[in-house]
Structures are given as C-alpha cells and as structure tokens.
Amino acid sequence: MAAVSEREMSERIEKMGLVPRPQTLDEASRFVAAEGEKWARAVVASGATAE
C-alpha cells in the first residue's frame, strides 16, 4: 500500500493507463479473485477456445 502512495510510483502507474488504488493484501486478493471469475465467465460466454 505504501508504494502506491508514493508520488513517483503513482505517476508510473498512471502512465500505463491505470488508476493507482492503495489496497490491503486482503483487498487485493479479493479483487484478483473476482477479476478471475469475471473474465472466466466472459471467456466461456464468448465460446473462445485455446489453440
């Protein structure tokens, strides 16, 4: 959380087109899990397959 609060790191994150968002480890873990579930559903719905 401290790294994202540092100005230089926040600027680097913003240059990548992202929005810096300080989170605890637990919050970050829940976010990553939710994103994985969301995108897994999107892949299944799209009918995409690995080749």
Q: How far, in Å, CA of 15 to CA of 17, rounded?
A: 5
Q: Is the pLDDT of residue 50 over 90?
A: no
pLDDT of the residue at 47: 96
Identify the band that residue 22 occupies on the pLDDT scale cut at 50, 70 and 90: confident
25-48 pLDDT per residue, tens: 999 999 999 999 999 999 999 999
pTM (global) more than 0.85: no
CA distance 21 to 43: 26
